Each structure stands twice: as C-alpha cells, then as structure tokens.
C-alpha cells in the first residue's frame, strides 16, 4: 500500500456492476474443503516466483519479506510467474515490527524495470491507528482504497502477531475478501480498462524494520462470469 494515500472515509463496500448481486457479508470456513486447490508455494524454494531475493527469504515453510535488522528502502514484491484471471486464493499471513505494512497483490503486473507492481492489493497493517487488514487497495494505479471492512468486525477477528487467514475471490468484475472467516470486501469494478487477470504477489512495504510472513498459499481457478 502506498503510504501517501489517506483515503479512509470510504463506503464499506462499493456498488457492483448491474449483472452482479450484492450479498450480505458472510462467513466462509477456509478449512471446509480444499478440492480443486493447487499450492503455488512449496514451502522450500522460490520455484514459480520471481523478485528481488535480497528482500525475501524462506523460513519455517513461509515466505518472509523484509528484516528486523534495518529499514526497508522501498516497496518490494515477490510475484508468481503464472498469470491468473478468475480464482479463489487462500493463504495465511502475519506481520512483525512497529509500523509494519504489507499486502497480497492479485490481478497485478510489474512496472518494467522497476520495483513497483500495479494492481489490486489485499492490505495488511494499520493507518492512523485504524486497521486496514483485509481492505482493498489499488496499488500504483488509482492509489486509493476501494473498500474497507467494518471497523469493529475487523478488530474483533484480527490476530495481532499471529497467523491470519485470507480468502481472496475474483470472479468476473467482482472482488471479495475474507479475513479469518469474516467478509471484509465485496467490490464490483466499474472503471473500464482495469485488468481482469495478472500475477499474484506478496509485498513488504518500504519503511521501518519489519517483516511480512506468508504461508500455505494455494489457488483454485474459477469459471468466468463475465
């Protein structure tokens, strides 16, 4: 997430396209079934991923971005080599360090010869003392929050310093996010020209010494409703 954008007073959920149906935020049990899911991180190597390995390592079966020993000079991303369109992505993530910030990119692409990535981000961290865990941010494109979860609900389920479960679902123009089984985002893209496919990536945000941990990353392709 870009720290310059302070667009917090947004609606909880943006309106959907006419051919989508807005549903009441609901729980989803990420442990119910793994049928059709494929792991995209083997817990041991960076096979299938690309990025600056000076800022990412593998520890205890997790991808770790950043370090507690020194400042992070700028945003860094580790991206999948494969492109995904409609899918359901599941993973666990946690942060270490005061002021830590990170996120999971999807339907994204790298800026050529640059460390930045363009696209949707499932955000992780805090801004002005408000949790932005599970919020939807548009990284390096519109540079603004597109949707937030309900503040009290997010604060109730967020697990500081522990593993948090994410479900990210993209189907047609609809983007949905769940944090620890509670839906935080149900967003319908209305702006023309926004990419409906791209890489998945994990981020460590530039800033004070901090770490972002990611594990159990798996994905299931979906049939497009566009």
Predicted pLDDT at 176: 99
**DSSP helix/strand/coil, 82:** coil
Model confidence pTM above 0.75: yes
Beta bridge partners of 139: 119
CATH T-level topology, domain 47-220: Jelly Rolls (2.60.120)
Residue 142: how many other CB atoms lie within 10 Å: 14
Predicted pLDDT at 223: 84
Predicted pLDDT at 21: 34
Give the number of C-alpha atoms closer than 13 A to the C-alpha of residue 196, restricted to the C-beta side.
Answer: 16
Measure the CA–CA gap between 113 and 201, rounded to whole angstroms.
Answer: 16
Question: Quick one: pLDDT band at residue 5, thresholds 50, 70, 90?
Answer: very low
Q: What is the pLDDT of residues 31-40, one digit of tens each?
A: 445 789 999 9
Predicted pLDDT at 27: 47
Question: Quick one: pLDDT band at residue 26, thresholds 50, 70, 90?
Answer: very low
| Domain residue spans of the chain | 47-220
Measure the CA–CA gap between 61 and 52, rounded to whole angstroms.
Answer: 19
Q: What is the pLDDT of residues 112-131, one digit of tens each?
A: 989 999 999 999 999 877 89
Measure the CA–CA gap between 164 and 155, rounded to whole angstroms.
Answer: 12
- Mean pLDDT across 214-224: 94
Q: What is the pLDDT of residues 71-105, one digit of tens each?
A: 999 999 999 999 999 999 999 999 999 989 999 99
Residue whose token pair is 């770490």: 211
Whether 22 has a pLDDT exceeding 50, the answer reads: no
Return mean pLDDT, the chain: 88
Whether 13 has a pLDDT exceeding 50, the answer reads: no
Structure tokens at 194: 């926004």
Kindly give the pairing relationship between strand 49-51 and strand 62-67: unpaired
């Amino acid at each position: 997430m870009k720290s310059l954008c302070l667009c917090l007073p947004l609606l909880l959920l943006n309106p959907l396209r006419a051919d989508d149906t807005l549903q009441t935020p609901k729980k989803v049990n990420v442990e119910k079934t793994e049928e059709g899911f494929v792991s995209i991180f083997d817990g041991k190597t960076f096979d299938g991923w690309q990025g600056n390995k000076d800022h990412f390592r593998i520890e205890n079966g997790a991808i770790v971005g950043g370090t507690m020993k020194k400042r992070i000079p700028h945003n860094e991303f580790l991206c999948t080599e494969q492109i995904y369109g409609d899918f359901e992505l599941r993973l666990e993530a946690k942060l270490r360090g005061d002021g830590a910030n990170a996120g999971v990119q999807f339907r994204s692409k790298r800026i050529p010869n640059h460390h930045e990535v363009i696209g949707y981000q499932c955000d992780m961290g805090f801004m002005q003392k408000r949790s932005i865990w599970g919020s939807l941010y548009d990284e390096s494109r519109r540079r603004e929050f597109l949707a937030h979860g309900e503040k009290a609900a997010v604060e109730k389920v967020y697990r500081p310093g522990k593993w948090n479960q994410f479900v990210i679902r993209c189907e047609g123009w609809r983007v949905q996010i769940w944090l620890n089984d509670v839906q935080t985002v149900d967003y319908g893209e209305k702006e023309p020209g926004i990419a409906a496919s791209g890489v998945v990536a994990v981020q460590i945000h530039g800033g004070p010494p901090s770490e972002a941990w990611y594990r159990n990353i798996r994905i299931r392709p979906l049939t497009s409703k566009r």
